[in-house]
Amino acid sequence: GEDVEQSLFLSVREGDSSVINCTYTDSSSTYLYWYKQEPGAGLQLLTYIFSNMDMKQDQRLTVLLNKKDKHLSLRIADTQTGDSAIYFCAETTVFRYKLSFGAGTTVTVRA
Amino acid sequence: ETGVTQTPRHLVMGMTNKKSLKCEQHLGHNAMYWYKQSAKKPLELMFVYNFKEQTENNSVPSRFSPECPNSSHLFLHLHTLQPEDSALYLCASSQEGQGGLGSPLHFGNGTRLTVT
């Protein structure tokens, strides 16, 4: 199957780190993505990782991939109020051209 | 400005109405998509068009009818909808294919549809 699962909610204090977790079922997943959806807007590609990588860092964002456990995480350092949004995990393979999305994790940043 | 524009932003319609959602992309992409976003559910792919040809119909009920007159425009015609069809309908485009790294999805801001 192509299921992607995420926890639905995360609350974090401003300035702390946020960690959003995602699990997927397709062991042949090749590309894994994080999309961000701000209120009233569509999804924006935030970052991505290839399956041959374990980690990718991009400024405040760190993506960790554990292929054995089929687990993907997104860490946001020094979380700001502007980081409040819904974060979607997505994956696909070179054979299955469709993207499979999770249900999204709503991140709320409190002062 | 997202490069993908959807109209209207909000739509309320009765179950017997006929309405259309419109999507336009200014990115020179060749593939366009309709997604349905319901609360607490994974994003559902509905239709895919590649170079104006429909390449995916993800078991969508016939009360939803897509139309892609050219690579820049995509419509979703709605008729005799049900209350459970209320959702955010997102249009997306990509250079080609779907979702590969060389061809990421660009989304519009969506149409919030309420069926009464």
Looking at residue A96, what is its pLDDT? Answer: 60
> Per-residue pLDDT for A109 more than 70?
yes
Looking at residue B104, what is its pLDDT? Answer: 79
Q: How far is it, in rounded angstroms, from Cα B74 to Cα B53? A: 11
> Per-residue pLDDT for B101 more than 70?
no
Q: How far is it, in rounded angstroms, from Cα B27 to Cα B103? A: 12
Structure tokens at B91: 């249009």
B108 contacts on A by Cβ (under 8 Å)? 42
> Per-residue pLDDT for B12 more than 90?
yes
Lowest-confidence segment of A44-58, A71-85, B6-20, B89-103 by average pLDDT: B89-103
> What is the interface size between A and B, counted as CB pairs within 8 Å?
58
Q: Does A64 touch chain B (CB under 8 A)?
A: no
Q: Does B109 touch chain A (CB under 8 A)?
A: yes
B3: which DSSP letter?
S
> Per-residue pLDDT for A56 more than 70?
yes
Looking at residue A5, what is its pLDDT? Answer: 94
Q: What percent of chain A has pLDDT over 90?
A: 74
Q: Does A40 touch chain B (CB under 8 A)?
A: yes
Nearest-by-Cβ selection for A31 from B2, B92, B101? B101
**In angstroms, what separates the C-alpha of B79 from chain A's closest C-alpha?**
24
CA distances from B53 to A23, B13, B30, B44 (A): 33, 29, 10, 20
pLDDT tens per residue, range B86-97: 999 999 998 876
